[in-house]
Amino acid sequence: MTLTISKFRRLLPLLAVTVFTVACAPLTVPPKSEYPVGRARLVLPPGTWQDLGNSEESIAGSGGRIALQTRDVGLRNAQGDWLAVLRVQTNRAGDLGGSPQGIGSCPPQQDVTVEDTAAGSPVRADCLRLKLWGSRAQWLDKNRPDLVEWLISRQLSVSQPYTYLSYRYVTEAGAWVKIDALVDQRLLRPTTRSNEEFLVAGRPALQWGRDLAQAVRLSVGMVDGHLAIPPFPFPTPTSKP
């Protein structure tokens, strides 16, 4: 069908309204939360995150004290339940003042998945630890009493069952990043209906931990320390377990 000049002129107002409507359409991408922590810029995936504050401390290094800052954040669902809590710690300055004590420690542990990418290096730490059932049998109380004490002091209770993950990346060149995470299993583990599915259900959680580790490694090479926490593999649950 041939479009005459007169027909085209009659369509112009309609085309203008269409273009204006598209140009003014609201963005559907939810904003991401960002928080400074030490030398890094913590960028969180979409979700209802809440800033739980920050704290300062220092640790001993072979050349003096190392100033660190910790940022705490939590993820909630629409009902207000805590689905995840992250503690992210980085160094304040680029010079660590020598090697931190026990820099390369990443010992194996029974019933815990441990990946030491630094391969036992005495001068570098690249240690990922994952306990899929971190909420069982007071495991956290026995292995991370400091974290339990902090949770109690803030009256924080993560939905159970939850997974515990920690990652530590330290180099003599001036990088220090440590992350502790308690995550509602529904964000990391699929629903299982058979023995075969149960046996491989922990893979998404481990992959999320590896993605987190890679994000940390990338962040230490960024001028602004951009540290993007990867999205959880499964959507935010809207009800209690």
Q: Which of 24, 100, 34, 36 is nearest to 63 (CA)?
A: 100
Assess if residue 14 is contained within a domain. Answer: no
Compare 241 and 175 and report the one with higher pLDDT: 175
Assess if residue 107 is contained within a domain. Answer: yes
Could you read off the pLDDT of 28-39 as tens digits, one per residue?
444 558 999 999
* Residue 24: predicted pLDDT: 40
**Rounded distance, CA 89 to CA 86, Å?**
10
pTM of structure: 0.83
Assess if residue 216 is contained within a domain. Answer: yes
The rounded mean pLDDT for the chain is 84
Say yes or no to pLDDT of 21 above 70: no
| Mean pLDDT value of segment 159-170 | 96
Model confidence band, residue 98 (pLDDT cutoffs 50, 70, 90) = low
Structural contact between residues 106 and 121, judged by C-beta atoms closer than 8 angstroms: no
Q: How many independent structural domains does the chain possess?
A: 1
Point out the least confidently predicted range of 65-74, 92-101, 204-213, 228-237. 92-101
Say yes or no to pLDDT of 173 above 80: no
Assess if residue 5 is contained within a domain. Answer: no
Compare 164 and 191 and report the one with higher pLDDT: 164
**Rounded distance, CA 154 to CA 85, Å?**
11
Structural contact between residues 190 and 197, judged by C-beta atoms closer than 8 angstroms: yes
Could you read off the pLDDT of 1-10 as tens digits, one per residue?
444 545 445 5
**Rounded distance, CA 71 to CA 42, Å?**
9
Structural domain including 195 reads 32-228
Assess if residue 135 is contained within a domain. Answer: yes
Assess if residue 154 is contained within a domain. Answer: yes
Residue identified by tokens 């990338």 is 218
Assess if residue 234 is contained within a domain. Answer: no
Say yes or no to pLDDT of 241 above 80: no
Assess if residue 75 is contained within a domain. Answer: yes
